[in-house]
Amino acid sequence: MSLRLGARVFGDREFAVMAIVNRTPDSFFDQGATYDVGPAMERVDQVVAEGADIVDIGGVKAGPGPEVDEAEELRRVRDFVALVRARHPRVVISVDTWRASVGRAVVEAGADLLNDAWGGYDPELAVVAAEAGAGLVCSHAGGLPPRTDPHRVAYEDVVASVTSTLVGLAERAVAVGVRPDGILIDPAHDFGKNTRQSLEVSRRLDELVATGWPVLVALSNKKFIGETLDAPTGSRLIGTIAATAVAAWQGARVFRAHNVRETREALDVVASTLGWRQPAVSRRALA
């Protein structure tokens, strides 16, 4: 299935990198480095230059923390989306939000994709995407409300639960009018899952790919990588790249990442190994 987001169409043998730009003062990864508009726009310019196809803008930290109400989330993301749209007219702009009201405001400002990381917590968000002709990310959060960490979560079969939930969310999105070629499904590693469960999802990601819906993975520097390696946040890049390559080999299509250049290079090697991409140069043993 081709994926149409904004001005871009991604074929089924084309990997897309989604760069993370957090307009939050308390991001787990950069601790607020892109909270202010100036540094945030510098980050956008950088990731586009490094090969990002999609820029994912977030105004609320995913984990627990100080409350961020609707007005504050809008202040952080709405005008910034408009600035990015004016500066980078062809880049796909995504906004990470669970609120339909915020979704409506950002698509009016120029966003192409609504990244619902909390599994349809506000069911009207899909309606907003449908009305605007925007794309939608359907995610598995284990039924938890936004900004909630899992605690002793259990599944009879975590992959079966993820698959049935995501197919249900995608089919519901189509039923309310979201374009089928604008829908992505995300197993949401760490969300509603412990480390062993996230690893199980990674190991069996091909089962999600087999549903036919394009799969997005958000692996970058996550806790399951950290616990797998017993590594702090700043030391998870190699583990992230390894998990990225495993996901790409199994058929994931979009990769949400902090480290865009490294992710792009890893995906290029996977694509070339699969025979989907020619090497950038070919000189060895030809002279």
Show which residues are catalytic. Answer: 222, 256
**CA-only gyration radius of the chain, Å:** 18
Burial 69-87 (b: 16+ CB within 10 A, else e): eeeebbebbbebbbebbee
Sign of the Cα torsion 223, 188, 120, 256 reads positive
For residue 143, which of 135, 128, 154 has the smallest C-alpha distance? 154
8-10 and 16-22 beta bridge pairing: unpaired
Within 8 A by CB and 6+ apart from 125, the residues are 97, 98, 99, 100, 103, 114, 116, 136
For residue 196, which of 218, 221, 223 has the smallest C-alpha distance? 223
C-alpha distance from residue 119 to each of 52, 140, 170, 172 (Å): 25, 5, 10, 12
- E strand or H helix that includes residue 269: helix 260-274
What number of other Cβ atoms are within 10 A of residue 239's Cβ? Answer: 18
SS3 at position 133: coil
φ and ψ at residue 169, rounded to 5 degrees = -65, -40
The tokens of 15 are what?
Answer: 């990997």
